[in-house]
Amino acid sequence: MKTFIWNDLSASERRTALSRPENRRDARVLETVKTIFDDVEARGFAAVTDWATRLDGHSPVRVELTRGLVDEARANLSAEDIEAMELAVEHVRAFHAAELPSAGPVIAPSQGLSLQRVYRPISTAGLYVPGGTAPLFSTLIMTAVPALVAGVPNRVCVTPPAKDGSLHPMMIAAGAAAGLEAVWRVGGAHAIAAMALGALRDVPAADKLFGPGNKYVAEAKRYATERISGIAIDMPAGPSELMVIADASANAKLIAADLLSQAEHDADAQVVLVTLEANLIADVAAELEAQLATLPRAAIARASLEQARLFVVDSLEAAAEVANLYGPEHLALQVADLDALIPQLTAAGTVFAGTYAAETFGDYAAGPSHVLPTDGAARAWDGITIRSFLTSFVVQRATKQGAATIAPAAARLARLEGLEAHALAADFRLEV
C-alpha cells in the first residue's frame, strides 16, 4: 500500500494522494462507448446482437420468468439459498417501503393559495445488473425491489451471460421474487445503449438508467445523459470502493477482511485505510496476506491492492477530513468514539459504524440499496433510494381570493422584467 502521513502533505499533495486513477475516464473507454451507441442507434437490435456476440460470446435473449423456469431455478438452489435471498428481498422491500413518500403537506402561503408536492413513479426504468466476473444477483434485488415498491410499471432488467451463456439460477429466482416478468441476457455498454435508445426489440426506451458496472458500463450511463436529451441516471456507480477509518481499538483481521471484500470485486476497485494508530499497519498487512492465501479471487484482489492507499492521521478530525475530501462509496468506521466521528462526516455513499457492522451486510441484506456513488460522486449524489424511482411536482391551486392576493405582485414583477404577456395573464385573473 502506498503510505502517506497526512500532516506532512500540502493541500495539493493531499488532493493528488486522494485522486482516483485516470484509467476510468480513459479516452479509449469513451471511444468504445461512442462507437457502440452510434452503431446501436443506426442498426438497433442487430447492432446489440453483434456487440453481445463479439464481447460476450452470446446473443441477447429475453428470458421470460415463467412459472416453469422459476421452479426449475429454485430446484437448483438449496432451501438455505432461497431463504437467504428471501430475507434480503424482504429487508430491501421493508426499508424502501418505509421511505416511500406520500403527498407532501398542503402549504398555504396566503389565503386562497394552496401548494402540494405529489410523487409519481417514472414510467420505464432500465436496471443494469453486473455479471462480467461474478453474477451479482444481489444488485438485481437492490434495483428491482425498490423499483417495484415505487410502482414503476416498466422494469427492464439486463445482465451479461455467464461464459456458457447461462443465467445463474439465483438471477431467475431473485428476479421472480422482485416481481420481474423477464431478465434480458445481455450486458456491457451495448446493453446500456440498447435500454437508452429503445433498441431491445419492443421494449420502450428507458426514462432513467440504474445500476452499477465496470468502467465501460459506468461510462455508457454517463454518455447516455450527454447524448439523449431528457434521460436520467441514478448516479455515477463504477468499480467498488471502501475506506476504513481505524484507531487503536480496531481489529486488524476485520479491517483486512473488509478491504478484501471490495478489492475482490475488480482490479479497478479502490480500497483505502485511514489509521490513527501506526501500530495497526503491520498487523493489517499480515492479515491481508494471510486471507489472500485462500481467496479464490486473490488475483483480482491483489491487482486492486496494488493501487490501495494508507493514510496515517493524528486525530478523528483529520480522519473525517480525508473521508470528506475522498467521498468513498463505502466508509467503515472501526473507532472507539463513533459519536465523535459521525457528526463530522459529510460525504460517503453509506457508513458502516463499528465492529459488528460489516460492509458485506449492506452489500447483501441489511435493506438500503447497495447501488452507491463512486469516484467522489458521494459529495453530491445519493445512492439509490425510493426517490430515485419517483418524480415529483407541486400542484398549485388558487381561489378567486387567492388570485386577487397574488396577481398584483406577480404582474408588477413581470413588468419589471419587461414581460408584458406574463403580467396580463395575471391581471386577467382579476376579471373572471
Ligand X SMILES: N[C@H](CO)Cc1c[nH]c[nH+]1
What is the C-alpha separation between 214 and 217, in angstroms, rounded?
5
Among residues 329, 350, 366, 381, the one that binds ligand X under rule CB under 6 A: 329
- Is 181 labeled as catalytic in the residue annotation? no
Burial per residue of 163-192, b for 16 or more beta-carbon CB atoms within 10 angstroms, e otherwise: eeeebbbbbbbbbbbbebebbbbbbbbbbb
Residue-wise DSSP of 141-165: HHHHHHHHHHT-SEEEEEEPPPTTS
| Binding flag, residue 270, ligand X (CB under 6 A) | no
Work out whether strand 390-398 and strand 113-121 pair parallel, antiparallel, or are unpaired.
Answer: antiparallel
Q: Tell me which DSSP letter residue 77 carries.
A: S
- Is 329 labeled as catalytic in the residue annotation? yes
Coil vs helix vs strand at 357: coil
CA 46 to chain centre: 29
Which residue among the candidates 330, 359, 370, 417 is catalytic per the annotation? 330
Among residues 374, 381, 402, 411, the one that binds ligand NAD under rule CB under 6 A: 374
Partner in contact with 133, chosen from Zn ion, ligand NAD, ligand X, none, beta carbon below 5 to 8 Å by kind: ligand NAD
The number of residues that bind ligand X (CB under 6 A) is 9
65, with CB counted inside 10 A (0-12, 13-18, 19+), is buried
| Minimum separation from the CB atom of position 109 to ligand NAD (A) | 40
Piece of the chain touching ligand NAD by CB under 6 A; list 144-152, 225-233, 265-273, 422-430:
265-273
Is the separation of the CB atoms in 36 and 217 below 8 Å? no
Judged by CB under 6 A, the chain residues 77 through 136 that form the site for ligand X are 136
Piece of the chain touching Zn ion by CB under 5 A; list 32-40, 200-208, 355-363, 421-429:
355-363
Coil vs helix vs strand at 239: coil
| Binding flag, residue 269, ligand NAD (CB under 6 A) | yes
Binding track over 205-244 against ligand X, x by CB under 6 A: -----------------------------------x----
| Binding flag, residue 145, ligand X (CB under 6 A) | no
Catalytic residues: 329-330
**Interface residues toward ligand NAD, by CB under 6 A:** 32, 55-56, 130-134, 136, 139, 160, 187-189, 212-214, 216-217, 237, 239-240, 265-266, 268-269, 329, 370-372, 374
